[in-house]
């Protein structure tokens, strides 16, 4: 991993990113975007064979992008420089706890949402400690947990023919971790990272996904958040916030 200080930022250049549960729609979509951005990506899974199959599938699906992936177990993913957890929400805290030693001192990104469908409506659930991200932080207190990417439609994330076109709301109790993840997010075409503060805000970020899914059902589309009124330059980090 190379982290380059730039006007107070933790600017990530080429990193080795592990995705725990990387064979699902969200995890594999993120793997695609990170590989295109030039990062070394390891797709983690409970089964090495399933990881290998997913890597081969993505490479065959997008031959013009000359993608490269590592395949391995979730344990292999936990040993990377930065780790994203893309497992179902109800197993997220458990699986990071199993790999707490490997995750010690690392940035760990949670992108899960605790939701349930009741009839035609999506409703948020309140997990232990108020949010999945807070539960994960409690399980791995020596890691720097970041909540991010909850609102990106998995299908758009996995379609390299289109920009994702979304703001990405990010929170953590570790400001330098927010900046590193923000830099990675900004490498996804169409995405603008927004710092929403401490990890206590993860409850609101995770629950808001239920609203987005309900809009999808109501309007038969796939929505993503885009906020107005954001200045062209972040007044604290100096990050360029303009939408091109």
Averaged in consecutive runs of 10 residues, what is the pLDDT profile of the chain (244 residues)? Answer: 42 87 97 98 97 98 96 98 96 96 98 92 91 97 98 94 96 97 96 97 96 93 92 85 80
Q: How many CA atoms lie within 13 A of 212 on its CB side?
A: 19
Strands (E), 31-159: 40-45, 69-73, 82-85, 107-110, 115-118, 121-124, 144-147
> How much is the pLDDT for 215?
94
What is the per-residue pLDDT for 4?
Answer: 38
Q: Give the model's pLDDT for residue 236.
A: 80
Cβ atoms of 17 and 34 within 8 Å: the answer is: yes
The pLDDT value recorded for residue 10 is 54
| Amino acid 129: pLDDT | 92
Which strands form 82-85's sheet, in the order they lie side by side? 69-73, 40-45, 16-20, 82-85, 107-110, 144-147, 166-172, 191-195
pLDDT for the residue numbered 12: 62
- Return the HEC string of 197-231: CCHHHHHHHHHHHHHHHHHHHHHCCCCCCCCCCCC
The rounded distance, in Å, linking the Cα atoms of 27 and 58 is 12
Hey, what CATH class is 12-219 in?
A: alpha beta
Residue-level pLDDT at 11: 61
- Give the CA distances from residue 212 to residues 25, 36, 104, 181, in Å, rounded to whole numbers and listed in that order: 17, 27, 33, 22
223: phi then psi, degrees, rounded to nearest 5: -95, 160
């Amino acid at each position: 991993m190379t982290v380059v200080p730039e006007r107070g930022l933790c600017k990530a250049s080429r990193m080795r990113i592990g995705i725990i549960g990387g064979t699902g729609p969200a995890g594999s979509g993120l793997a695609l975007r990170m590989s295109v951005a030039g990062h070394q990506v390891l797709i983690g899974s409970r089964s090495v064979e399933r990881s290998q199959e997913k890597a081969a599938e993505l490479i065959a699906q997008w031959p013009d992008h000359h993608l490269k992936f590592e395949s391995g177990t979730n344990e292999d993913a936990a040993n990377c420089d930065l780790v994203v957890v893309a497992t179902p929400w109800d197993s997220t805290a458990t699986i990071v706890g199993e790999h707490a030693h490997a995750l010690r001192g690392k940035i760990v990104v949670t992108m899960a949402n605790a939701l349930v469908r009741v009839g035609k409506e999506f409703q948020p659930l309140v997990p232990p400690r108020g949010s999945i991200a807070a539960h994960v932080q409690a399980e791995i207190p020596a890691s720097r947990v970041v909540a991010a990417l909850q609102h990106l439609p998995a299908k758009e994330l996995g379609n390299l023919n289109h920009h994702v076109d979304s703001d990405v709301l990010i929170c953590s109790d570790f400001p330098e971790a927010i900046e590193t993840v923000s830099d990675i997010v900004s490498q996804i075409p169409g995405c603008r990272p927004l710092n929403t503060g401490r990890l206590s805000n993860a409850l609101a970020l995770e629950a808001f996904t239920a609203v987005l899914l309900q809009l999808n059902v109501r309007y038969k589309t796939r929505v993503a958040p885009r906020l107005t009124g954001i200045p062209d330059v972040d007044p604290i980090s100096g990050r360029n916030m303009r939408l091109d």
